[in-house]
Amino acid sequence: MRIANLFNIVLYKQKLNEIILRQKKEKREKYLNKLPLINYFTFENEFRGEKNLILERQKPYVKYFKDCKNVLDIGCGRGEFLELLKSKKIKAVGIDMDDGMVNECKRKKLVVYKVDLFDYLLKSVPNYYDGIIALQVVEHLNSQRVQNFVKLCFDKVKMGGYVIFETVNPLCPQALSYFWADLTHEKPLVPQVLRHIFKQYGFSQVDIIGRTPVFPNVPDLIKNPNDLAIYGDYAIVARK
């Protein structure tokens, strides 16, 4: 009996220590989660580039949404692409999780909601959108989420509609060297791998397009559009 009681006491102490350690960990995590993070809106203003620069970079995407009446801009940020669509009288809605971004878009009288992209897409009706665009978004997601994201976009866009993802190009050394400057980045995505994911989920046409040349003043390089290494970003342009 004494041995059994001693064993129970030891076991009780072990359980108690586990509970105490777990409570300490939970308390620490709760405290850390309350600490303020950097203001992503001001971060974007410094590192993303000024408004006019981004507008010029995003203009080539507008043609894919000609005659569309229902475009979804995921991770719309400061709303540059929404402004471009609005100037062409193309109706669009934006979503973003950052308060600063959403407030800036509302200041511009753009239709934008603060909501998680997965929550929003899951609640959307299948084959609902004429087109979907997500510029500089997928690099913020882990591998599983990237695949989920592509599948949801396929489900929610109409037949014949375009889904466009733009992201940092890891084949470009200059771009890759700055990838981790954004603390919210998860991992870079090789263009061919992302294209493969789109094809796996059923998109009929999937193209890789180099964007943002890192040597814009060297025309001989720009004349070779197949050399992805000279582009800081790339876009997946997929049609359902």
pLDDT digits (tens, 9 = 90+) for 127-179: 999 999 999 999 999 999 999 999 999 999 999 999 999 999 999 998 888 88
Task: Copy the structure tokens of residue 156.
Answer: 């929610």
Domain boundaries, position 23: 1-34
**Residue written as token pair 């094809």:** 199
- 74 and 59 belong to one structural domain: yes
Instruction: Give the pLDDT score at 183.
Output: 83
The residue type of 76 is C
| Spatial CB neighbours of 196, under 8 Å, sequence gap ≥ 6 | none
DSSP assignment of 109-125, as one string? T--EEE--HHHHHHHSP
- 140 and 223 belong to one structural domain: yes
Q: In the chain, what percentage of residues exceed pLDDT 70?
A: 80
- 48 and 99 belong to one structural domain: yes
Query: Is the entire prediction scored with pTM above 0.85?
Result: no
- 24 and 71 belong to one structural domain: no
Task: Copy the structure tokens of residue 167.
Answer: 């992201």
- 16 and 131 belong to one structural domain: no
Instruction: Give the pLDDT score at 95.
Output: 98
- 29 and 89 belong to one structural domain: no
- 44 and 29 belong to one structural domain: no
What confidence category does residue 120 fall into, taking pLDDT thresholds of 50, 70 and 90? Answer: very high
The residue type of 13 is K
- 1 has pLDDT over 90: no
Q: Backbone phi, then psi, for 74, in 5-degree steps?
A: -95, 130
Q: How far apart are CA 40 and CA 152, in angstroms?
A: 26
Q: How far apart are CA 155 and CA 4, in angstroms?
A: 61
Closest CA to 234 of 152, 177, 150, 176: 176
Closest CA to 134 of 51, 236, 222, 59: 236
Beta bridge partners of 132: 72, 163
Write out 41-65 in H/E/C secondary structure.
HHHHHHHCCCHHHHHHHHHHHHHHH
- 28 and 80 belong to one structural domain: no
Closest CA to 83 of 100, 59, 102: 59
User: Structural domain tally of the chain?
Assistant: 2
- 93 has pLDDT over 90: yes
- 3 and 68 belong to one structural domain: no
Task: Give pairs for 186-191: CB < 8 Å, separation 24+.
Answer: 186/139, 186/140, 186/141, 186/142, 187/139, 187/142, 187/143, 188/139, 189/138, 189/139, 189/146, 191/228, 191/234, 191/236
Q: What's 6's DSSP letter? A: H
What confidence category does residue 72 fall into, taking pLDDT thresholds of 50, 70 and 90? Answer: very high
- 47 and 8 belong to one structural domain: no
Q: How far apart are CA 43 and CA 134, in angstroms?
A: 19
- 25 and 56 belong to one structural domain: no
CATH of residue 175's domain is 3.40.50.150
Mean pLDDT for the chain? 88
* Secondary structure (3-state) at 20: helix
- 26 and 81 belong to one structural domain: no
Q: How far apart are CA 61 and CA 164, in angstroms?
A: 8
Residue 64: count of CB within 10 angstroms of its CB: 17
